[in-house]
Structure 1
Amino acid sequence: MRLHRLEVAAFGPYRSREVVDFDALGADGLFLLHGDTGAGKTTLLDAVAFALFGTVPGARGQVKRLRCDLAEPDEPTEVVLELTVQGQRLRLQRSPEYQRPKRRGEGTTTQQAKAVLQWVGPPPAGQPAEGLTRIDEVGRTVQRLLGMSAEQFFQVVLLPQGEFARFLRADTDEREKLLERLFGTKRFAEVEGWFRERRADRRRELDQQRQELREWTARFAQVAGEDVPEEDVAGWVARTGERIRSSVEQARDDEKRARAARESADELLAERLSAAERVRRVREAHRRLAALAEQEEERKRWAAELEAARRAAAVVGVAAQADRCAAQLDEAREAEDRKAAALAATGFADVQADTADLRKLSGKLREEAGALAGLVAEAEQQVRDQRDIERHAEAASEARARVQVLGEKLAGIPERARDLRERLDVAIDAEAKLGEVRKRESELVAAVRDAERLPAAERAVADAGAAARVAIDQHQEARERFLELRRWRLDGMAAELASRLTSGSPCPVCGSSDHPAPAMAAPEAVSPEQEQAAEEAESRAERRRKAAEAAKHDAETKLAALRERLRGRTGAQLTEELSLLRREIAGLDALAQQRAPLAKQVQAAETEQRELEEKRAAELQAATAAETQHRALTERVAERARRLEEARGGHPDVAARRAHLTGIVRALDALAEVRSAAASAAEQLERQRAEVREALWRAGFETVDEMRAAARDEATVRDLEKRLADARAAEAAARATLNEPELFGVGPDDEVDVESARAKAQAARERAEAAVAVLRSATAQADALGTLAERLAAATERLRPLEEEFAELDALTDVVNGRGQNARKMSLRSYVLAARLEEVAIAATARLQTMSQGRYSFVHSDAAGSHGTRGGLGLDVLDDFSGTVRPAKTLSGGESFLASLSLALGLADVVAAETGGSLLDTLFVDEGFGTLDSETLDVVMNILDELRAGGRVVGLVSHVEELRQRIPTRLRVRKSRTGSSLELQMA
């Protein structure tokens, strides 16, 4: 992954749009990001993280406040990042969610977050050429290309030294949390959880099975009526079952004897009851015959009354119908008198005319009233049309007045619209020119800056040349000193060898054990340590010489580039040209700012003119339509008035004449109808009276009154019939009873002893029922105990394998979760993390040994912690000077920085290899260099030089002054009241 370009706008402390060109900034592979505290150095790293993942590291990501408080309301907050991942160049643009002022009205509204991914060049296979715009799709695509999550990226690319310093000193739990986020051990945690959940499930099943066994045992004891023994429950169950079976056999024998005694007593009682019932039936039959004999005369009267009522029933209906016909005739004659009076009230004189004449006259008047129906509707319309004539006259007058007013308003609008359009065209031309002029302004501003940097660049060339000459001289002196010391050592080599000779030992040159004249050391003799120190000094001087020569070359290159861009122009010339251009920009900007209000005014004027013309045309059309309708209605009303005058006759209007005719028609029809009804009623009455006389003769009655005296209602008739039938049935039933064969020889005075037999039967029945209850209870108890014994045995068999399986699962779960037989107290997840931490310690040790010049190494420990805490994540340092393993907390500030930086770099390598992520060509190291001395800083810089080997770019975030002298390429963050800004510095 390599970063190319970053743009931030209204983001963090950056009020306006700022651009970071990583290609130019990282051309040497190493650059410095510096500035005052709070200026916004770390915000640039946050911007990179936000562009990639939509979030920022640490606590700043929890606040979710990314918009600049000083930004203009219309300035959008966004971050744009161009980078290359896996050979594919892409452009990411993100905006966070923030509050902005409403474009209409007061208050604020929420600007939603958005993300856009665009491919620079051909898109990858399967990806749309237009890019992606959904936030979730952009996030998944970035994570897939990088091969790591946001947490991993924050640890391996944005190396936070403070966090790794805490990681060194953290306890096991804190260290475990970080490693879990980086190495994704969620699946191992899920395995641990799976074991715990499975053990909990099996424990619940086992507890349920045990509870079930306890419940079956308690139910067995409850049914048996005994307490559960503490031991030998199975034997107790068997003994109890045998005892209950014996009690069942005894109860069965008792029930058989009681049943036989009850059957014998029931037979005796049945015989006595049968004899008593025969005596009762004979007595009841004699009693009924005696009562019927006393009722003989009364039954004869009932029969005579019933026979007369049946003859009168045939005449009652005919007489009632004759009464109804007489009543109908009276009603018809009264109605005839009323209708005749009503007809006379209408002014009709011949009310005594017959029915046929009345109907003929009614038809004639109805036709005449029907002819007037249409004229009534026209009379009503005549009234409405007269009102409409007045209304149309008023509407036409008002519309003409409005037409005149609208014409006066339209008079000056076209000229005003033309003037506004001309001014708008001028503003549009100014806005079009403004972009090109601003581009020229940016070029002149850059040129003025180049002119300002020219003296410094010339001094830098001179200083670099002087420094290079000094470095060359110092290197020559150091080399001459080294060669001189080597020559002196070679000259004094004989004395050096002689100093090592001892009496009796052979000479390493000639092999003799005699040393008659060993050489003596000269005053200028040189030791090996002095020679080595001189050689190292010469090597350092050579490196300084090369660095000075490289700095001189860089300074000369930058000076040549400045002169090339200036093309011989001086700073004064450029400033004057820029001043003139800015005055031109101010004038164009003033005109361009008038574009929006002028466009609105032009649109408003054109809209007003169009609306007024439409209104004037509409009013003119309305006036014409009202006048046309006024003329048409006037003509139609005059013609209709002539026809209505002829039709009303002597009445106030046509409706009154028609109502009068309609009233006469209704009165004629009503009188004709009631006269016809009266004639029909008289004929019907005469026929009905003849039928009454015929019915009286057939029934044997002389008069209607005699018939009505003999008549009875239906209820009375039914009662008489029932009494007579009941008496006949009772007499027949009593005689039939006495004639039955089984009652032969039974007299009404016989007596039978039933009570003694009933008492014996009751006692036998109670003894039998008690025996049955005892047998049923014993049988039910035996059956229940047998079923419960079977279920107890089945529950015991089911429980045994569950207990064995749970014991094995319980032990294995404890081991997986770092308990029980797990001697190291390491869970499965901790074991995996321990292996990863060991890899990190190995990778970090390679860095730390170089930085500490071989003194320190990381030591990983998987031993259990104190007080039984989990092990596997211990991390200490080995001090090679003392040969002891020390806790990381004992390191000094500078040593802690070296250790945390080594750990961060080692962790970055391991995580990148673990996740299979893309090659990380860009790294950022944030702060911590202020704790190092000069020599240690040299070592660290050498390590960073190794990191940038092979094309890597390393960015350092620090305010340490010495780093500004060591790193030529710098990006300075300036802080001001109006917002932070960026400045690229090339030493």
Structure 2
Amino acid sequence: MRLHRLEVCAFGPYAGREVVDFDALGADGLFLLHGDTGAGKTTLLDAVAFALFGAVPGARGQVKRLRCDLADADTPTEVVLELTVQGHHLRIVRSPEYERPKRRGEGYTTQPAKASLTWLSPPPDGGTAEAVTRIDEVGRIVERLLGMNAQQFFQVVLLPQGEFAKFLRADTTEREKLLERLFGTERFAVVEQWFRDLRAERRAELEHRRSGVRDWVARLAQVAGEEIPEDPDRDWVVTLQRRAAAEVDTARREESDARLAWEEAQARLQERRAAAERLRRVRAAHTRLAELEQRSEERVRWSTELEAARRAATVAELVAEAEAGEEQYDREVAEEEAAARICRELGFTELDLDVAELRDRAGALREEAGGLSGLVDQAQRQHADRQRLDVLDKLIADDKERIAIVQSKLDGLPERVGELLRQRELAVEAEAKLEGVRAKEAELTALLVDAEALPELERELEDARAAENTAFAAYNEAKQALLDLRERRLAGMAAELAAQLAAGEPCPVCGSEQHPEPAVATDDAVSEDEERVAAEREAEAERRRDEATAKRYEAQRRRDAAAQRVGERRVDELAEELAQVRDERDRLGEHAGKSEAFAASVEAAKKEEQSLMAERASCERSLSENEAERSLLAERIVERERALAEARGEFPDVSARRDHLLALGRAVDRLADARTAVSAAGRQRDERRRSIAEAARRAGFASVDEALAAARPSERIAELERLITDADAEEAAARGVLDEPDLAGVSPDDEVDVDSAEAAAQEAQKRSETAVAAVHAAERTARELNTLAQRFEAALAELEPVEWEFAELDALTDVVNGRGQNARRMSLRSYVLAARLEEVAVAATARLRSMSQGRYSFVHSDAAGSRGTRGGLGLDVLDDYSGMVRPAKTLSGGESFLASLSLALGLADVVAAETGGALLDTLFVDEGFGTLDSETLDVVMGVLDELRAGGRVVGLVSHVEELRQRVPTRLRVRKSRSGSTLVMGG
């Protein structure tokens, strides 16, 4: 990386625009940037850093206040840097965010930050040559080209010795923080954290598996009914399994003995139960025969009742049918009376007609109603036509109203079109005039600003002239004082030379070794120091005179330029004219830009006129058609109404009269049908009564009532049949039981003991069931123990490799994080940083030995700290004079500067090699030279001369006066109340 040109404007203490030509400064490879304290030397380095990264190093970057307080409000704050990186020539322009006064009104407004990168040579990778204007993208391009971030650049290119003095004396923790920022070892911290996270994850997994093993142990102890031992293992599980197997064998033997005893008791019980069952059957048969003998008379009554009921069944059925016929006759009579009542209600009075006459009368009524059907359709059509007539009246009214509305719109269209055309002409005229009015407004605004500023510019010019006169007077006075002092010194030069004479040494003027009358200094003699002080005062007065002249010239230039632009115009005239122009601009702005809209409105109005004319023609056609239809329809309604009035008679309409005739015909037919049904039902009733009397006589009954008394419901008949059948079956069954061969010899008086056999069988059963349950429990326990033992063994098999892996991971994590078997207590990150620090110590030692003339060397230590704290970042100094290793804190001020500078240069070399930034052609060393004596400064300058080998440019930033004589190329920063300026010197 090589810097070519730097421009700063309103940045830091620089109120105006200052330019640094690094190509001219670095022609010899070494230049000096000097000036008074606070003049702005380091600000130039801040400007380089800000242009590249948008930030400045150190504590200054935390304030974020980069704009010059002395700069004009209209002067922008920006930094422009031209440089070449990896063969690519580019220009970077950056502006920070800052507050500036508002151009209108009071207060401040925020000027946003900006950045741009322009390729002055072909861009890399064949990309586009367009400027990059996004702040984040500019930052990414710079970091990619330089190969380092802002923090690394600040430490590698801008060497701040003050920070490296702190680094030299820092403890392990502070030194680690700086090295982490420089070498980017965050990835190793991520590795350490990854190991810790993995260990926590694996520990949780291990605890989960151990918990699983403990669960299986608890379940084994629970199933076995034992306490959990302190150290359960596989032998304990095997012992539980063997004990459970022995308990199973014992339970099976006891179950076999109990089962044999229960089978014998069951056999004895079955024998006694069979004997008791035979005795019960014999006793039950004798008891049932005795009961049947006692109920013999009742069985006879059942047979007699059943025989009479069977004979009376036919008569009862006929009587039931006759009762249904009587009910039918009554219903037919009631229907005849209802039909006659309906006929009377409908106005029919000829109720004494016979059935045939009634049917003829009903037919005549239906025929009369049929003649009215056609007129009913006409009545329905009449109603529909009346509704259509109402619709036509509404349509005709709507057509007339719509025609009037359309006509009113057509009447107003010509005036509206004319107004739109006039507005369009105004808009076109306004568009043509607006640009000129805006230009005139801008011109008058600028003239008004100049006119308002003229009084202030006049005052500034007068102040500048007064300051210039004062500076000239002071300069003349200082110059005259210097001339007087020089004249007086020349006059007393002989005495000054005589003061240096020594006996036996030649005189520098005449060469004589004898000095009989050396000149004696007078009271007003001037020394060299007094002359130097007067010369410096004269130079300072000259500088102030030049500054005053420059300010006066600038004030006069600004006043003359403003006066020339304003001319003879007054402020009130310009303000009035500007107000008029702004009113004209506002008026034209109301019309400008609307010509196309007005043209579109005219075209839309024409299309609307065509649409309205078409709509009016359509409405007129519809009105004519509807009026013609209404006229025809009204004539048909009048003619049809006369025929319908004659046909409906006294009824509301023809349909009502037809419905009445049909209803009356149906009522007369119903009356005829009812009278026919009453006659038929009477004949059937008389026939059934004769059939019932004949049936009672044939069944052997004296009368119908006697037959009905003997009749029984079907349920009673079925019950009697069942009682008789059951009694006969019971008697046959009882006698059949007594005749069975296996009951021969069994007397009802015998006794059988079943209870004792049942008690013995139950006792044997309980014993057998208890034994079976014991076997099942023992087998279940054994099975569960075997299953749990298998799972316990599987859990142990899975746990053992996990425990081994975790132990290995745990030890490795401790080593990576500087614990456990890590004797040096160094984490992985510290180990990497220690390696980098060792490289830095080697690179820095070469320069430290050269600058200390072989006395000092850096010694890197990777030993652990006190009380077991982490180590690896120790840095001490070996003193070859004493052969002892000394802490860096024991170095003097000058020695600390040499060590810090060596450490900074060594670190710069290592970081540059680490980041790939090998082509760092520009390097700055900021301050720290004031602590060196002349001899040591010669050595340090020799080392710095070596740095510019191979075309590298080294810039020194210092206020030390001696460096001005040692470095031929200089850039001076001059400090004043109006802001710092740069002066190029040789």
With the shorter chain as reference, the TM-score category is 0.5 to 0.7
Q: Give the structure 1 partner of residue 762 of structure 2.
A: 762
Q: Give the structure 2 partner of residue 663 of structure 1.
A: 656
Pairing of 1:959-974 with structure 2 (within 5 A): none
Say which one has the larger Rg.
2
Q: Give the structure 2 partner of residue 380 of structure 1.
A: 387
Q: Which moved more, 1:752-761 or 1:932-941?
A: 932-941
Measure, in 1, the Cα distance between the counterparts of 2:83 and 2:399: 78
Residue aligned with 2:911, SS: helix
Contact 1:430/1:588 (<8 A) preserved? no
Pairing of 1:133-282 with structure 2 (within 5 A): 147-148=147-148, 152=152, 156=156, 167-168=167-168, 170-197=170-197, 199-200=199-200, 203-204=203-204, 207=207, 211=211, 214-227=214-227, 248-282=248-282
2:616 aligned partner, one-letter code: A
1:602 to 559, 575, 592: 592
Measure, in 2, the Cα distance between the counterparts of 1:745 and 1:97: 133
TM-aligned CA deviation for residue 370 of structure 1: 3.4
Measure, in 1, the Cα distance between the counterparts of 2:921 and 2:782: 87
Residue aligned with 1:863, SS: coil
Measure, in 1, the Cα distance between the counterparts of 2:650 and 2:918: 108
Gaps spanning 5+ residues in structure 2: where? Answer: 70-74, 100-109, 349-356, 446-463, 473-504, 506-512, 515-556, 697-702
| Per-residue deviation, residues 107-154 of structure 1 (Å, max 9, x unmatched) | xxx999999999877666596899999999998777655545666566
Is it true that 1:625 corresponds to 2:616 in the alignment?
yes
Measure, in 2, the Cα distance between the counterparts of 1:960 and 1:593: 65
Gaps spanning 5+ residues in structure 1: where? Answer: 70-74, 100-109, 345-349, 439-451, 460-491, 493-521, 524-569
Residue aligned with 1:278, SS: helix
Is it true that 1:825 corresponds to 2:792 in the alignment?
no
TM-aligned CA deviation for residue 195 of structure 1: 4.4
Measure, in 1, the Cα distance between the counterparts of 2:960 and 2:796: 78
Residue aligned with 2:593, SS: helix
Residue aligned with 2:751, SS: coil
Residues 262 and 379 (structure 1 numbering): CA distance in 2 closer, same or farther, change over 3 Å? same
Residues 747 and 646 (structure 1 numbering): CA distance in 2 closer, same or farther, change over 3 Å? farther
| Per-residue deviation, residues 214-254 of structure 1 (Å, max 9, x unmatched) | 55555555555555666897776666666665555544444
2:656 aligned partner, one-letter code: G
TM-aligned CA deviation for residue 827 of structure 1: 1.8
1:811 aligned partner, one-letter code: A
2:832 aligned partner, one-letter code: V
Contact 1:8/1:47 (<8 A) preserved? no
Measure, in 2, the Cα distance between the counterparts of 1:243 and 1:984: 103
Q: Which moved more, 1:602-611 or 1:265-274?
A: 602-611
| Per-residue deviation, residues 734-788 of structure 1 (Å, max 9, x unmatched) | 5655554444444444432111111222222233333444444455555555666
Residue aligned with 2:860, SS: strand
Contact 1:96/1:113 (<8 A) preserved? yes
Q: Give the structure 2 partner of residue 428 of structure 1.
A: 435
Measure, in 2, the Cα distance between the counterparts of 1:657 and 1:716: 69
Measure, in 1, the Cα distance between the counterparts of 2:325 and 2:76: 106
Contact 2:399/2:623 (<8 A) preserved? yes
Pairing of 1:449-848 with structure 2 (within 5 A): 598-599=588-589, 601-604=591-594, 607=597, 611=601, 614=604, 618=608, 625=616, 628=620, 637-649=630-642, 660-668=653-661, 737-738=737-738, 740-781=740-781, 806-845=806-845
Residue aligned with 1:603, SS: coil
TM-aligned CA deviation for residue 870 of structure 1: 0.9
| Per-residue deviation, residues 623-662 of structure 1 (Å, max 9, x unmatched) | 973973666655654554444444444889x999998334
TM-aligned CA deviation for residue 865 of structure 1: 1.3
Contact 1:25/1:970 (<8 A) preserved? no
- Once the two structures are aligned, what percentage of the paired residues are identical? 48
| Per-residue deviation, residues 377-435 of structure 1 (Å, max 9, x unmatched) | 45334434444555555565566666667766766665555445434334435779999
Measure, in 2, the Cα distance between the counterparts of 1:262 and 1:385: 111
Residues 335 and 947 (structure 1 numbering): CA distance in 2 closer, same or farther, change over 3 Å? farther
TM, length-normalised to structure 2: 0.62
Q: Give the structure 2 partner of residue 544 of structure 1.
A: none
1:257 aligned partner, one-letter code: D
Contact 2:41/2:973 (<8 A) preserved? no
Residues 327 and 434 (structure 1 numbering): CA distance in 2 closer, same or farther, change over 3 Å? same
Residue aligned with 2:592, SS: helix
Measure, in 1, the Cα distance between the counterparts of 2:709 and 2:64: 113
Q: Which moved more, 1:827-836 or 1:672-681?
A: 672-681
Q: Give the structure 2 partner of residue 867 of structure 1.
A: 867
TM-aligned CA deviation for residue 871 of structure 1: 1.0
Measure, in 1, the Cα distance between the counterparts of 2:707 and 2:175: 126
Contact 1:91/1:120 (<8 A) preserved? yes
| Per-residue deviation, residues 481-504 of structure 1 (Å, max 9, x unmatched) | xxxxxxxxxxx9xxxxxxxxxxxx
Q: Give the structure 2 partner of residue 477 of structure 1.
A: none
TM-aligned CA deviation for residue 843 of structure 1: 3.8
Contact 2:82/2:91 (<8 A) preserved? yes
Contact 2:223/2:785 (<8 A) preserved? yes
| Per-residue deviation, residues 886-941 of structure 1 (Å, max 9, x unmatched) | 5556678887777666655544443343244584567788x767977897999989
Residues 308 and 685 (structure 1 numbering): CA distance in 2 closer, same or farther, change over 3 Å? farther
Measure, in 2, the Cα distance between the counterparts of 1:822 and 1:276: 97
Q: Give the structure 2 partner of residue 296 of structure 1.
A: 299
Pairing of 1:6-405 with structure 2 (within 5 A): 28-29=25-26, 48=51, 86-87=86-87, 147-148=147-148, 152=152, 156=156, 167-168=167-168, 170-197=170-197, 199-200=199-200, 203-204=203-204, 207=207, 211=211, 214-227=214-227, 248-287=248-287, 294=295, 296-297=299-300, 299-300=302-303, 301=305, 327=331, 334=338, 338=342, 362=369, 365-371=372-378, 373=380, 376-387=383-394, 389-390=396-397, 393=400
TM, length-normalised to structure 1: 0.62
TM-aligned CA deviation for residue 818 of structure 1: 1.6
Measure, in 2, the Cα distance between the counterparts of 1:861 and 1:151: 26
| Per-residue deviation, residues 275-322 of structure 1 (Å, max 9, x unmatched) | 222333344445555666635256544686588679967997998699
Residue aligned with 1:280, SS: helix
Measure, in 2, the Cα distance between the counterparts of 1:944 and 1:92: 29
Contact 1:912/1:918 (<8 A) preserved? yes
Residues 904 and 783 (structure 1 numbering): CA distance in 2 closer, same or farther, change over 3 Å? same
Alignment length (residue pairs):
836
TM-aligned CA deviation for residue 272 of structure 1: 1.3
Measure, in 2, the Cα distance between the counterparts of 1:6 and 1:168: 33
Residues 385 and 605 (structure 1 numbering): CA distance in 2 closer, same or farther, change over 3 Å? farther
Contact 1:651/1:657 (<8 A) preserved? no
Contact 1:33/1:41 (<8 A) preserved? no
1:296 aligned partner, one-letter code: R
Q: Give the structure 1 partner of residue 519 of structure 2.
A: none
TM-aligned CA deviation for residue 369 of structure 1: 3.8
TM-aligned CA deviation for residue 825 of structure 1: 0.7
TM-aligned CA deviation for residue 266 of structure 1: 1.5
Contact 1:701/1:707 (<8 A) preserved? no
Residues 5 and 271 (structure 1 numbering): CA distance in 2 closer, same or farther, change over 3 Å? farther
Measure, in 1, the Cα distance between the counterparts of 2:769 and 2:120: 103
Contact 1:26/1:953 (<8 A) preserved? no
TM-aligned CA deviation for residue 361 of structure 1: 5.0
Contact 2:923/2:953 (<8 A) preserved? yes
Q: Give the structure 2 partner of residue 557 of structure 1.
A: none
Contact 2:924/2:955 (<8 A) preserved? yes
